[in-house]
Amino acid sequence: MAERIEDLLVKGYGTWKNNLVLAAPHILSAVAVLILVFIAVVVAMIGIFAVAALSGPSISSIVQGGPADTTTILLLLALAVVAVAVFILVILLASAFFTSGAIGMSMKALETGKTSIDDMIAHGRKKFLAVFYASILEILLTLLGLLLFIPAAVAFLAGAQGPGIALLLLGLLALIVYLIVLQLALVLMPYAIVVKDLGAMDGLRESYGTFMKNKLATLILWFVVSAVGAGLSLVVGVFTSLLEIIPFFGALLSLLVNLCYAVFSMVVLTPIFMLWWTAYYMDKAGPSRSRFSERPSRPQSREQPSKQSGIYI
């Protein structure tokens, strides 16, 4: 039986209210990212000093505006690319652990009414690699959208400025549509991986299949989540802009408000959004996959569907 969207939203909020520990994965994820950024900065500084010590004359020549040593430049670029790639992969790994752990906690809270850090650790250890691979797939599919700009690039290379600009605008519009559809098609991928204990490719197929069977429902929930997040961000942005007008203390007050909103997002918004998506997917997964969908059977109503109130997803 499909959940009404208002029931799902209320259920998600009630579950969060009784399980404030659901904020723990998101807070720990933010702390982990800050630690990794600090480590990356330290390693980068050590690397710069090491390269400067090993090829001092070449570095000094570049800094002073002298002739650049091609080998040194290529070495620095290669090191920079490798360092950035490693940093991104480590961030994705850490994020995958806490994301899978947070989804596992949400699933447990929805099933039993209670969850704990142990659930985060258990699901994070079990599914972080699958969620990590899924993140890589999503990034690759996102980058695939850049192919939409090939016609514009060809037109510019051919010297056709007018058609090139038109194709560039069309490519931009097509990219926006592509990214929205991709977001809708893959939004349930990590939830499918954790809830159904799937691999990355199976999670991708499951997310796409669920979206294709429930296009309108997925769009409605996506719009609700996006509207709440964007609306609050807009309000905070306008308020902080007004605070910056205040002399001396305006910038400090604006920074404090932004920090408070960041904490609010980690403690309240993100856990509730994750509960909504988890509950939605668990409802669509069916009773054979989740106890959340096991509800007492009700007699079939003889009323026409058009007479029922509420929006069902």
201 assigned to some structural domain: yes
114 assigned to some structural domain: yes
301 assigned to some structural domain: no
238 assigned to some structural domain: yes
310 assigned to some structural domain: no
Distance CA 8, CA 280 (A): 7
306 assigned to some structural domain: no
The tens-digit pLDDT sequence of the chain (313 residues) is 456 778 888 888 999 999 999 999 999 999 999 998 898 888 878 877 776 666 655 555 555 555 555 666 777 777 778 888 888 999 999 999 999 999 999 999 999 989 999 999 999 999 999 999 999 999 999 999 999 999 888 888 888 788 888 899 999 999 999 999 999 999 999 999 999 999 999 999 999 999 999 999 999 999 999 999 999 999 999 998 888 888 878 888 889 999 999 999 999 999 999 999 999 999 887 543 444 334 444 444 444 444 444 444 5
Instruction: State pTM to two decimals.
Output: 0.81
52 assigned to some structural domain: yes
Q: Domain total for the chain?
A: 1
303 assigned to some structural domain: no
CB 213 within 8 A of CB 283: no
- What range does the domain containing 19 cover? 5-292
